[in-house]
Structure 1
Amino acid sequence: MNCIIVDDEPLAREELQNMVRESSQLEVIGIFSNALSALDFLKTNEVDLIFLDIEMPKVSGLEFAAQISGQTLIIFTTAYAQYALKSYELDAIDYLLKPIDPTRLEKAISKSIAYKTLLSESTKSTIEGSTADFLMVKSERRYYKIRFKDIRFIEGLKDYVVIYTQTQKLITAMNLKNIHQKIPSDLFLRVSKSYVVHVNHIDSFDNHTIYIGDFEIPIGEVYKNDFFDKYAGGTQLL
């Protein structure tokens, strides 16, 4: 899988390039100091993954990300934690804080490769329908019966959704809004632009994050009041 690095800080570009080169799973095909140069490159080159800084002159990383094709994955790299929620609203695959930890970087790379594989295998995937207690999902030449009780949460990624159960991840070409309309509203809550969670699988939460197993799911500002009203009796933590 190939990637490019976009960052206005020379030292940050060099450090990230050296770290990425340690991974045998990625090939760096471009390094850019600004978003405009990267946009020009994307016009004539197919890019699988972009490591993208946020605070850059002229065009910010957030503005740049809003213009990217759904087939290109984005990992934000920034020194500012306050952008985390906004990055997920732009369907970023991950969010890395500088200085970047090598173990955390490797985890983000592995997640990106897994998503890219799922996307390439799901060109014919659809949600075939739902009944009282399950969805039927078509993937390639197979149909999968997914019981609502087994769905831990659903993640939206541009024009696709990933359905997480205890044992598998299934990806299908549908947006999060449409699939949310096909599942029981008393069991599933939309908690951000990118996530719907099954309330019975929530292990814990705070004012900003829901924890399901090893997954940390951000709570969007637009959805926060609804989540606390329906799930926590309207009470937020002090």
Structure 2
Amino acid sequence: MKCIIVDDEPIARKGMKNLVDQIPELELLDSFNSAEAASMYMLNHPVELIFLDIQMPGITGIEFAKNISKDTLVIFTTAYSEYALDSYEVEAIDYLVKPIEADRFRKAVDKAIAYHSLLLSEEKKSVENVEDDYIFVKSDRKYFKVNLKDILFIEGLKDYVIIQLDGQRIITKLNLKTIHDMLPKSAFLRVNRSYIVNKNQIESFDNNDIFIKNFEIAIGNMYRDSFFEDFMSKKS
């Protein structure tokens, strides 16, 4: 599993890295001293598991966890056991109190790996195949062949996505981040928390909105810089 560490204390990050390095199933992508830094990284890098401190300056771990994808699993790490109840409210996989023992850490990771496998199994039932120019999507007990070039945009709605074609919508049980990871980044770009757009279908845009046929899609503040950098680089 691809994971990151978020903790404002350098010693805590080093200790957590030592624990992660002992488990071959984990791939440590990076470590961050704040939720803000981790959030920016996650805009362009898929992360499956976060080891997340709770009490940090700025955005707390609890606040950060409330705003990330359900596909990204969270194991809280903290020196304060009184935060355990808050961790359940954001559906954390586990709650580890520092100093963290290796055996206890392994049990938490095993829970994350097992749950991640269940998520992958469910996703494979929704998207049967991804080829260079099409996908098969399960909807209403049937599989529909969807040509990627025909997708205008994809909208996330809780545990479902709506694939918008010209004159047709296909709804399937899938997470927005998951389908984004499956699609070619050369053509599809996430522009806010709820929308992925086909860059080839964009007819016009301004500083705040993208226009595709008769649809108007807002550019999220956290995605604005990456949108202009990515999209405009294609036009230069």
- Which category describes the TM-score, using the shorter chain as reference length? 0.5 to 0.7
Hey, what does 1:44 align to over in structure 2? 44
Q: CA deviation at 1:80?
A: 0.5
Instruction: Structure 1: give runs of 5+ residues left out of the alignment.
Output: 127-140, 142-157, 161-172, 175-238
- Tell me the equivalent position of 2:99: 99
Cα distance in 2 for partners of 1:34, 1:159 equals 28
How many residues are paired up? 132
**Partner amino acid, structure 2, of 1:43:** L
Say if 1:124 and 1:20 are closer, same or farther in 2 by CA, change over 3 A.
closer
Mapped to 2, the partners of 1:48 and 1:62 lie a distance apart of 17
Structure 1 residues 115 and 65, CA gap change in structure 2 (3 angstroms)? same
Matches within 5 A, 1:198-209: none
The answer as to 2:11 corresponding to 1:11 is yes
Compute the TM-score of the two structures, normalised by the length of structure 2: 0.53
Distance 1:119 1:14, change over 3 A: same
SS of the aligned residue for 1:31 comes to strand
CA offset digits 1:207-227 (Å, max 9, x no partner): xxxxxxxxxxxxxxxxxxxxx
Q: What SS does the aligned partner of 2:8 have?
A: coil
Distance in 2 (alpha carbons) for counterparts of 1:124 and 1:112: 18
TM-score, normalising length from structure 1? 0.52
Report what 2:67 is aligned to: 67
Identity of aligned residues (%): 52
Instruction: Identify the residue that residue 29 of structure 2 maps to in structure 1.
Output: 29
Deviation of the 1:123 alpha carbon: 2.8
Can you list the C-alpha shifts for 1:138-190, whole angstroms capped at 9, x where unaligned?
xxx9xxxxxxxxxxxxxxxx959xxxxxxxxxxxx79xxxxxxxxxxxxxxxx
Q: Equivalents in 1 of 2:83, 2:20: separation in Å?
A: 23
User: Structure 1 segments of 4 or more deviating over 2 A?
Assistant: 123-126
How far does the alpha carbon of each residue in 1:72-130 deviate from its partner, in whole angstroms, 9 at most, with x for none? 0000000001110110110101000000011000001111010000001013779xxxx
Counterpart amino acid of residue 94 in structure 1: D
* Cα shift at 1:49: 0.0
Aligned AA (1:24): P
